[in-house]
């Protein structure tokens, strides 16, 4: 269910995606906004599609996990507040200096 809109989005100098959003005035939007302000909800997910095939970083993942790719060109489709994020370093007002940054390769 849509509870707001993305007003502005950008990839900043530090390589992180940031967005300015506006919550709606409906009951669900106000309830979700209050949970964000109270620190109850803070996990974010971005739905996207990739526009160019990724660069293979690891042919075999660690402990039997699948190969790892870096997607260099993508288009965001939606932003969601979620209970379980795919990446725990991403979220509302979240900073993680330990995040590994990969160099783009061709």
d(CA 53, CA 9): 23
Residue-wise pLDDT tens digits, 28-76: 999 999 999 999 998 988 888 888 777 777 777 677 777 777 887 888 8
**Given this model, what pLDDT does residue 93 score?**
64
CB distance 3 to 26 below 8 Å:
yes
Q: How far is CA 18 from the centre of its chain?
A: 9
Residue-wise pLDDT tens digits, 67-104: 777 887 888 888 999 888 777 777 776 554 444 434 44
d(CA 30, CA 24): 7
């Amino acid at each position: 269910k849509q509870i707001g809109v993305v007003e502005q989005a950008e990839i900043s100098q530090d390589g992180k995606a940031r967005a300015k959003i506006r919550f709606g005035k409906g009951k669900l939007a106000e309830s979700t906004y209050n949970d964000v302000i109270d620190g109850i909800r803070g996990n974010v997910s971005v739905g996207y599609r990739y526009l160019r095939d990724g660069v293979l970083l690891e042919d075999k993942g660690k402990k039997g996990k699948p190969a790892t790719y870096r997607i260099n060109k993508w288009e965001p489709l939606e932003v969601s507040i979620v209970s379980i994020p795919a990446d725990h370093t991403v979220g509302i007002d979240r900073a993680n200096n330990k995040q590994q940054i990969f160099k783009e390769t061709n």
